[in-house]
Structure 1
Amino acid sequence: MNETLDSKSSAKAAESRVYSKITRRLIPFLILCYFFAYLDRVNVGFAKLHMQDALSFSDTVYGLGAGIFFIGYFLFEMPSNLLMQRFGPRFWIARIMATWAVLSAGMMFVTTPTQFYVVRFLLGVAEAGFFPGIVFYLTLWFPSWRSARTLGLFILVTPLSTIIGSPLSGLILKLFEDVGGLHNWQWLFLVEAVPSFLLAFVVLRYLDNDVKSAKWLSDAEKQMVFDDLRKDAVNRERANRGKVDSSLKGMLANGYVWLPSIIKSSGVNDDFYIGLLAALPYVFGAAFMVWNSRHSDLKQERRWHIAIPALIGCVGLALSAYCSGSTFWMMAWICVAMSGTLALIPTYISLPGALLSGTAAAAGIAFVNSVGNLAGFFGPTVLGWLKDATGRTDLGLYILAGFLLLCAPLILALPARLANPKKVIAVPEQNTAQPDAAHPDNAALRR
C-alpha cells in the first residue's frame, strides 16, 4: 500500500518537473513576443493624444481607424492558424512578427484618414493568427487539465504589456517631441516596432515546432507528455460521445484605445501620468487573472470561472461610466472591470482546445478569438461616433457592460460535461514505440 502511494507520489512529482521545465522554456519567451505584439497593437491609443490633433482627425475617424485593425484580424485569423499547421509554428510566428513590425513602424508616415485605415487594416492582417496560434501551439505541449493555468501565465502578458507599456509610451511621447524633426507620436510607432522585428529572428532559432523536436527534453520526458496528450484525446472523444472531428468542417459544426483619452477627459493632462494611470487597472487584472485560472484548474471547473468574472466586469464598467466625473472613483471601478474581464480570458480560451483536436482545434481557437476580436472594431468605432455625437464616452461603456452581462447566461448554458476537463481516465493500451504519433496534432507539424 505504502509502495503504491510512494510510486504515485513519485510519478506526480516527475510529471510536475517535466511541465515546469516546459513552462520555463516556452512561457517567458512567448510572453516577451506577445508583449511587443500587444504594444504595437494598442500604442495607437497613446498616439491619439497627439496624432489626432496633428492630422486633424475627428473622433469618428480615429475610432474607425483604430477599430478597422480588427476587421483585418477577423478575416485572416483562421486562415493564418491553418497556414501555421502547414508551415510549422516556428516559421509562421516569426513571419507574423516581422510583417507586423514593418507595418507598425509604417504608421509614422500616415497623413490622411485613408492611409490610416489602410495601414491599420493591413496591420490586423499581418498580426492575425498570432494569439490563437500561440494558444494552439500550447495545446501541443500541455493537456487540457493544465491549460487554464498555462494560458493564465501566457495571457498575463496582456496586463503586463499595459502595466509596463503605458508608462513607456507616455515617456516616449514626453521625451521625443520634435527629435530629429519628427513628432513624438511618429517616434512612438518606430521605437516600439523595432524589438518585434528583431525578435522574429530569435524565434527561428529558439522555438521548437513540437515535443518531438525538443532536444532539451529526454525521451522519457517526451513520452510522459505524449501519454498525457493521448489521455486528452480520449477525454475529448468521451465528452463528445465519440463524435470528435479534427477537420475544419468539424470546427464549424461544433458549435483600449479610448482609456488614455477617458483618463485625460477626467482632468489628467501629463502624458506620463496618463500612462501610469492607464497601467493601474491591469495590475489588479493580472493578479485576479492568475488566481482565477489556477483555481479553475484546481477545481476542474470552467463555466462559473467565466460567468462570475463576466458579471464583475459588467458591474465595474457600468459604475466606471456612472462615476466618470471623478478620476478617483472612475479609476477604482475600471480596476474592478479590468479584474473581471481579464480573469475570464484564459479559462474561456482553453475551451476550444479541450473540445477539439487537430485542424479543428487550430481553426476553432482562431474562430473564437477572431469573432471576439470584432469587439475591437465595434468598440472604438462606436465610442468614437458617440464622442463626436454627444461629447461623452460613458454611453459606450454602458453598452460594453451589457455585453458582459449577456456572457454569463450564455456560458452557463454550455453542458458541464463538455466544459469541465477530466484528468484521470482509463486509456486503452497503445504501441508507444513511436511517441510522436501519440498526439493527433503532431502529424501536421512533423517538419
Structure 2
Amino acid sequence: MAGQQPAPFTAHLDPQHRDRVFRRVVLRTVPFITVVYVIAWMDRVNVGFAKLTMLDDLSWSETVYGAGAGIFFLGYFLFEVPSNLLLERIGARRTIMRIAVGWGVVSVLMAWVSQPWHFYALRFLQGAFEAGLHPGIILYLTYWLPAHRRGKAVAICMSASPLAMLVGSPLAGFLMKHTDGLLGKADWQWLFIIEGIPSVVLGLLAFFLLTDRPRDATWLSAEERAYVEAELSRETARLSGREHSLRAILRLRTTWVLILSLYCIITGNATLSFYGPSLVADAGFTDLADLGWVMSGIFALGWTGMLVNGWWSDRRREARRHTAWAAAVGALGLILAAVAQQTGSSLGLLAALALSAAGTMGSIPVFWSLPPRFMSGTALAAGVALINSCANLAGYFAPQFLGGMKANTGSYALGLFVIAGVELIGVVLIFVFIRKEPPAVTATAPDSAKADAELS
C-alpha cells in the first residue's frame, strides 16, 4: 500500500546471520579505531622513554618531568566532555580526524622543547587535542553494538594501551639507540618526530574509513541495517531505568562512585605508563634496547589481562566483580613491586610489574560496561566523558606524587605502597556502592530482556 512503512526485517535473519552481521560490524569499526588508539597511547607515553636522556640533556629535575607528564591530563579534563558532545553532533569520523591530526602535530613539536614551560604547554595541548578519544570510542561502540556484544569489542580497543607499550617500548628503545646525533638532533627528539607523523596520517584516513551510524552503512544491506538498529532499539527500551539528561547524571550518586573508582584504577595505570621504564632501569636494565624489550614483555601481560578479563566478563555476563577483582590484582602487583625494590630483587620487580599490568589494565575495559547500565542518550555521551576526564586527573597527580617521593626518599618504594592503597580503595568503592543488578526491565520488552544479556 502506498505510503506504508516497510515491515522490520529482523524476523528474516536467522541467529547465524545475525552473528555474521555483528562480526562484520566489528571488523569494519574495531580494527581501525584500535590502531588509532594504539598510536595515541604511543604518543602519550613515549615521554617515559624520552625522559631517560631528555632530563640530562636539558638539565631538568624529576619534579619538572612529573609535572609535565601529568599536565597532559589537565587538558584532557577540560576538553573531554565538550569533545564527546561534539562527537554526538558531528559524528565520529570528523571528531577522530580533528583529534588525531592535532595531537600528532603537537607530538612532533615536542622535539623542539628547551624550557620547562615549553614542555608544560605542549603536554597540555596534547591532552586537549586527545581529549574525547577514549570516551568517544566508548560512545561510538554504543552506536553499533548492544551491551552483550560490546565487552570484547571494548576490550580489544582498550587493549591499545598495553599494545602501544608492547610494540612502542622496543620501538622507542631502537629509535633512541640508532638516531642519537642524526642531523644534529638527540635521540629523544627523533622519538617525538618519528612517532608523531603516523597520527596525522591516521587522522586524515579516519574521515574516509569510518561510518558514523548504522543507518549510513552502505556496506550493510537494508535488511542488516534494520536488524542492527532494531537490536539497539530493544536494548534502549529494556533499560528504561537509565538517566537521559546531563543534569540528572550530575545528581546521580553512581556517577561519582564510578569517577572515584576509575580514578583509583588510573592512579595505578599511570604509574605503570609513566614510571615503568624508570623502575626497570633502576633494576639494572640500563641498555635502552634491552629496557624496551623488558617493558614490552610486561605490557604483553597487560594486553593478555585485558583480553582474558573482557572475554571472561562477556562469558559470565558480569562486569562489576570482574572489574574489582582485576584491580585488586593490579594493586597487589604494585605492593610486590615496592617490596622487590626494597629487597633489591630485579626479577621479583619485573614479575610484580607484569602482575600489576595484567590486573590494572585488565580491569579498565570491563569497567566501561558499567556506565551504560545507568545512562543513555546525551547523558551517556556526556557521562562517559565526565567519568573519564575526572578519573584521568589521576594521571596528573600520580606522576607528580611518585616523582616527588623519589626526589625526597631516593626510592620509589614508599610511593608504590601509597598508590597500591589508592587502587584498593577503588576496589572497595565498586563492591560497596555499585549495585549488583541493572535497572528493572520494562514490561513492554520481555522478549528482548531474555535475548539480551544483563550485566550485573
Query: Shared fold by TM > 0.5?
Result: yes
Q: Deviations over 1:9-62 (max 9, x none)?
A: 973212211111111111111111111111000000000001111011100111
User: Counterpart of 1:426?
Assistant: 446
Q: Is 1:200 matched up with 2:203?
A: yes
Give the C-alpha shift of residue 235 in structure 1. 2.4
User: Counterpart of 1:15?
Assistant: 18
Counterpart of 1:296 (choices 304, 308, 313) is 313
User: Counterpart of 1:36?
Assistant: 39
Matched residue SS, 1:257: helix
Distance 2:177 2:405 in 1: 29
User: Counterpart of 1:178?
Assistant: 181
Counterpart of 1:390 (choices 401, 406, 409) is 409
Give 1:42's aligned amino acid. Answer: V
Q: Deviations over 1:315-348 (max 9, x none)?
A: 1110011101222110101111111111111110
User: Counterpart of 1:119?
Assistant: 122
Distance 2:276 2:441 in 1: 36
User: Counterpart of 1:251?
Assistant: 249
Give the C-alpha shift of residue 186 in structure 1. 0.5
1:231–1:427 CA contact under 8 A, matched in 2: no
Q: CA RMSD in A?
A: 2.0
Matched residue SS, 1:215: coil
Structural mapping, 1:17-416, within 5 Å? 17-237=20-240, 240=241, 244-255=242-253, 256-324=273-341, 325-413=344-432, 414-416=434-436
Give the C-alpha shift of residue 166 in structure 1. 0.4
Distance 2:57 2:284 in 1: 21
Q: Which runs of 5+ in 2 are unaligned?
A: 1-9, 254-272, 449-456
Distance 1:427 1:252 in 2: 32
Distance 1:169 1:419 in 2: 46
Give the C-alpha shift of residue 221 in structure 1. 1.0
Q: Deviations over 1:111-139 (max 9, x none)?
A: 01111111111111111001110110010
TM-score, normalization: structure 1? 0.90
2:243–2:374 CA contact under 8 A, matched in 1: no
2:331–2:356 CA contact under 8 A, matched in 1: yes
Distance 2:283 2:217 in 1: 51
Distance 1:229 1:247 in 2: 19
1:300–1:421 CA contact under 8 A, matched in 2: no
2:313–2:366 CA contact under 8 A, matched in 1: yes
1:303–1:411 CA contact under 8 A, matched in 2: yes
Give 2:34's aligned amino acid. Answer: I
1:300–1:420 CA contact under 8 A, matched in 2: no
TM-score, normalization: structure 2? 0.88
Distance 1:42 1:420 in 2: 42
Distance 1:223 1:355 in 2: 26
Distance 2:13 2:315 in 1: 20
Distance 1:382 1:189 in 2: 25
Distance 1:339 1:9 in 2: 42
**Aligned pair count?**
416
Distance 1:182 1:316 in 2: 38
Deviating runs (4+, > 6 A) in structure 1? 7-10, 419-422
* Percent of paired sites with the same residue: 39
Give the C-alpha shift of residue 355 in structure 1. 2.2
Distance 1:273 1:93 in 2: 34
Distance 1:346 1:419 in 2: 21
Distance 1:12 1:158 in 2: 34
Distance 2:55 2:93 in 1: 37
Structure 1 residues 53 and 294 mapped into 2: Cα distance closer, same or farther (>3 Å)?
same
Give the C-alpha shift of residue 425 in structure 1. 4.9
Out of 405-414 and 54-63, give the one that drifted further. 405-414
Give 2:446's aligned amino acid. Answer: A
Distance 2:390 2:305 in 1: 24
1:247–1:360 CA contact under 8 A, matched in 2: yes
Distance 2:285 2:439 in 1: 44
Give the C-alpha shift of residue 356 in structure 1. 1.3
Distance 1:262 1:333 in 2: 11
1:356–1:364 CA contact under 8 A, matched in 2: yes
Structure 1 residues 248 and 386 mapped into 2: Cα distance closer, same or farther (>3 Å)?
same
Structure 1 residues 234 and 420 mapped into 2: Cα distance closer, same or farther (>3 Å)?
closer
Matched residue SS, 2:296: helix
